[in-house]
Amino acid sequence: MKGWMAKFRALLLFGSLTLVLSGCGKENLSALTPKGYGAKSALDLINISLAVMIFVFIVVMVIYAIVLVRFRKKKGQEDFIPQQTEGNKALEVIWTVIPIILLVIIAIPTITITFDLADESAAGDSINVSVTGNQFWWHFNYEGEEIQTSQDLYIPTGEKVYLNMKTSDVLHSFWVPALSGKMDLHPENENTMFIQADEEGVYDGKCAEFCGTSHSLMDFKVIAVSPEEYEQWVEDMKNVDPEAQPESADAQEGQQLFQENSCIGCHAIGSSPAATGPNLTNFGDRTTLAGVAEHDRDTLIEWIQNPESIKPGNRMSDANYEVSEEEAGKIADYLLQLQPSDITPESATSNE
């Protein structure tokens, strides 16, 4: 009775764990709910391999069950040693040939898809973005467009967008599970992959290569909008005037403070090339602060005063500047009104 209870408890525990854990994960961060070309191909491969493995498992289990039942010692049967056989050509050929066939069934799509996903022949006619991984943030430079941005990567749906990737420091790995597989970033070699989103949406990205203290906080977003919205976004980003005066007096003071303190030394606004910190041209349109924190005024003030408390070990923490809470508030007002485009992450989720 006791043993039975223990088994029942274990079953209950595992059963409820399965139930609870199956609720984990977000749909826009899962390779099992693919929303793009690369991720769909990968899921096809997972399914083919799984089908083959389930087939093998079932065949083995059925034979096992038959043997167990058929060759049991029957009631009242005398002990005896069964007839001993050695070698059986037919059987050996069968159990060599079947696995070969199964491996070929897995190999053909694997090789086809591997080459297909590595195919860069369309890169010349496509959107190309230089991606730079930094501890612990992402920089995006739209080649030929004079657009530099960080953290949020805008792409049009239904098109291959080629990412030419490098890192400025240690190894990182670019991964948007719902859209495609991973690609490592190297300081020396440029690695290229393409992503293609089939549906509009905001897809979560992660750094998938341990890169230091805040590796787990090196998040980013891919924002897939319709091709027309993308065109609009490109136009808006190209037309940004980095010197433009904000409307409110506080934000104007904030702009002054941003320039007087060392902020401007590390953060570009407009299309000037990559600096030590993220480009803030469309900071007001971002969904998160520094890729992970709440995107609101209070959190931003805290970030400006003590970035270490939000992202340990980040490269802004050892910057030399002194701003009061009031000044940080004005800088926050300035940064939050940097909203050059009507195309925002909401555009990607509103048409659903």
Check residue 185 for interaction with Cu ion (CB under 5 A). no
- 310 touches 275 (CB < 8 A): no
Check residue 263 for interaction with ligand HEC (CB under 6 A). yes
Rounded least distance, CB 33 to ligand HEC, Å = 27
- Rounded distance, CA 9 to CA 29, Å? 33
Count of residues near ligand HEC by CB under 6 A: 30
- Among the listed ranges 82-90, 175-183, 187-195, 315-323, the one in contact with ligand HEC (CB under 6 A) is 315-323
- Rounded distance, CA 265 to CA 329, Å? 20
Rounded least distance, CB 102 to ligand HEC, Å = 47
Q: Which of 105, 294, 315, 349 binds ligand HEC (CB under 6 A)?
A: 315
Long-range contacts of 343-346 (CB under 8 A, 24+ apart): 343/154, 343/225, 343/229, 343/230, 343/232, 343/233, 343/236, 344/285, 345/152, 345/202, 345/221, 345/223, 345/285, 345/286, 345/287
Q: Which of 224, 335, 343, 348 binds ligand HEC (CB under 6 A)?
A: 335
The letter for the amino acid at 66 is I
Which tokens belong to 56? 């093998």
Rounded least distance, CB 265 to ligand HEC, Å = 6
172 binds, among Cu ion, ligand HEC, none (CB under 5 to 8 A by kind): Cu ion
- H helix or E strand, kind and range, residue 20: helix 2-21
Q: What contacts 322, CB < 8 A, 6 or more positions away? A: 261
Q: Which of 267, 268, 340, 344 binds ligand HEC (CB under 6 A)?
A: 267
Check residue 183 for interaction with ligand HEC (CB under 6 A). no
Q: Looking at residues 71 to 130 of the shown chain, list those that interact with ligand HEC (rule: CB under 6 A).
A: none
Nearest partner of 321 among 278, 281, 270, 264, judged by Cα: 264
Binding flags for ligand HEC, 54-73, as an x/- string (CB under 6 A): --------------------
- Rounded distance, CA 42 to CA 30, Å? 12
Check residue 311 for interaction with ligand HEC (CB under 6 A). yes
Which one-letter DSSP state was computed for residue 245? Answer: P
Nearer to ligand HEC, 297 or 315 (CB): 315
Token pair 């391999």 is found at 49
335 binds, among ligand HEC, Cu ion, none (CB under 5 to 8 A by kind): ligand HEC
- Rounded distance, CA 38 to CA 282, Å? 28
* Cis omega (within 30 of 0) for bond into 220: no
Q: Which of 37, 42, 128, 136 binds ligand HEC (CB under 6 A)?
A: 136
Nearer to ligand HEC, 31 or 331 (CB): 331
- 187 touches 167 (CB < 8 A): yes
Determine the longest span between alpha carbons in the chain, in angstroms: 101
Check residue 276 for interaction with ligand HEC (CB under 6 A). yes
Q: Looking at residues 197 to 216 of the shown chain, list those that interact with Cu ion (rule: CB under 5 A).
A: 207, 211
Rounded least distance, CB 44 to ligand HEC, Å = 35
- Rounded distance, CA 29 to CA 3, Å? 41
Rounded least distance, CB 218 to Cu ion, Å = 4
- Where on the chain is the footprint of ligand HEC (CB under 6 A)? 136-137, 150-151, 258, 261-263, 265-267, 276-278, 283, 286, 289-291, 303-304, 311, 314-316, 319, 321, 323, 331, 335
Binding site for Cu ion (CB under 5 A): 172, 207, 211, 218
